Amino acid sequence: MDRGLGARRSELRWPGLRTVYCWHPPTGGVSVSGAQQIGVSFAEHHGVVTESGGRRERFDIRPGDVFANGWSRVYWSEVTRPDELVEIYPGDELLRAAAGASRTPEIEPLRGVRDPVVLGTASILKRAHLGVAHVDSLLAGTLAHRLAEHVVGHYAGIAPPGRGRGRAGAGRLDRVLLDRVAGVVEDRLGDPLTVDDLAAAATLSPFHFARAFKASTGLAPHEYVTSRRMERAKSLLLSTRLSVPEIAYSVGFSNVSHFRRVFRRHTGFLPSDLRPARTAGSDPPGADGRLTGLAS
């Protein structure tokens, strides 16, 4: 169900996995995240309030922040900017299989965590919701199992069968190395970046790093960097008066036409669709209830 004028909500299901994508303007009301979900915010917010289990928190959200619920629902309020998010609901059977347990493990509540594995998965699923990428059952199953294993190992207190808690599986990067590489990417979104730079942060050869990074996040290194650059650009388009060329240069693009093409391919929008003058600080693109600039 759409959340008011200009809102968009879509839901996709695969075996063992349900995902929800939302884009909506500030409603002034309360929204709810369901139990046992992992969510990624692709928008920036200040002073958002959550309530769950009798506990109330206020905090800021950065684009790419990861959130999760246990068995309790989370109620969100005081969202004053356009919101974009992906919620991922792994099935109970999938979580039990990942944990090697007969009971469904509870996901640890998370607030504003940086996690390249969850972010990479959500970025792929978001593009599927926007219609700019195809995720078939095979890819969805791979993403679902990787995510369930990661969540169980890091946020449910249960080591997946055959592994110690917090250790990466064969051919993947462990959490420390992933966080280190992700930090380099965030710090250098406006600079030239090569696979050699990222491999050096992980102390691996470029060949082994590229394979291990994709096995860990679902994205090749260049895809991850481009995705983060496009999200930074989107935030700047929505929140500043910088020109499109200025924003393109600020995220490492010297060719503005190329930037526009890449931006549309990754977000479903043209940069001009997200200008503050069109959103008036509150309404998302498409006041008629549709997202303008979406690829068919």
175 in a structural domain: no
**Residue 57 is part of a domain; what is its CATH number?**
2.60.120.10
Based on the domain organization, do 13 and 94 belong to the same domain? Answer: yes
Determine which helix (DSSP H) or strand (DSSP E) holds 56, and give its type and residue range: strand 55-61
Same domain flag for 158 and 233: no
**The domain boundary residue, chosen from 167, 182, 199:** 167
Residue 157's pLDDT is: 75
Q: What is the pLDDT of residue 296?
A: 24
Q: Does the CA dihedral 282-286-287-290 come out positive or negative?
A: negative
* Two tokens, residue 98: 């990942």
Could you give the strand order of the β-sheet that contains 17-24, starting from the edge strand earlier in sequence?
8-14, 17-24, 83-90, 38-41, 66-68, 110-113
**Does one domain contain both 159 and 12?**
yes
Does some domain include residue 211? no
192 part of a folded domain:
no
53: left (phi over 0), alpha (psi -120 to 50) or beta: left
In this predicted structure, what is the pLDDT of residue 6?
Answer: 59
Q: Extract the residue ranges of the chain whose pLDDT is less than 50.
A: 1-5, 164-167, 277-296
Q: What integer pLDDT is reported at residue 294 of this predicted model? A: 33
Q: Which residue segment(s) compose the domain that 43 sits in? A: 8-167
Q: What is the pTM of this model?
A: 0.85
Residue 133 maps to a domain: yes
Q: What is the pLDDT of residue 25?
A: 80
C-beta neighbour count of 108 within 10 angstroms: 14
289 inside domain: no
286 Cα distance to chain centroid = 22
Burial of 4 (0-12, 13-18, 19+ CB in 10 A): middle
Determine, yes or no, domain membership for 182.
no
Q: What is the pLDDT of residue 251?
A: 96
- In a shared domain, residues 54 and 157: yes
- What's 263's domain CATH number? 1.10.10.60
39 and 159 in a single domain? The answer is: yes
Long-range contacts of 98-101 (CB under 8 A, 24+ apart): 98/145, 98/148, 98/149, 98/151, 98/152, 98/160, 99/152, 99/156, 99/158, 99/160, 100/160, 100/161, 101/158
Of 152, 167, 182, which residue is a domain's last? 167
- Please indicate, yes or no, whether residues 152 and 21 belong to a single structural domain of this protein: yes
Number of domains in the chain: 2
208 within domain boundaries: no
Name the domain boundary from 138, 167, 196.
Answer: 167
**Same-domain pairing of 62 and 134:** yes
Is residue 200, in this structure, part of any structural domain at all? no
Instruction: List phi, psi (to 5°) of 245.
Output: -60, -40
Query: Residue 193 in contact with residue 199, Cβ under 8 Å?
Result: no
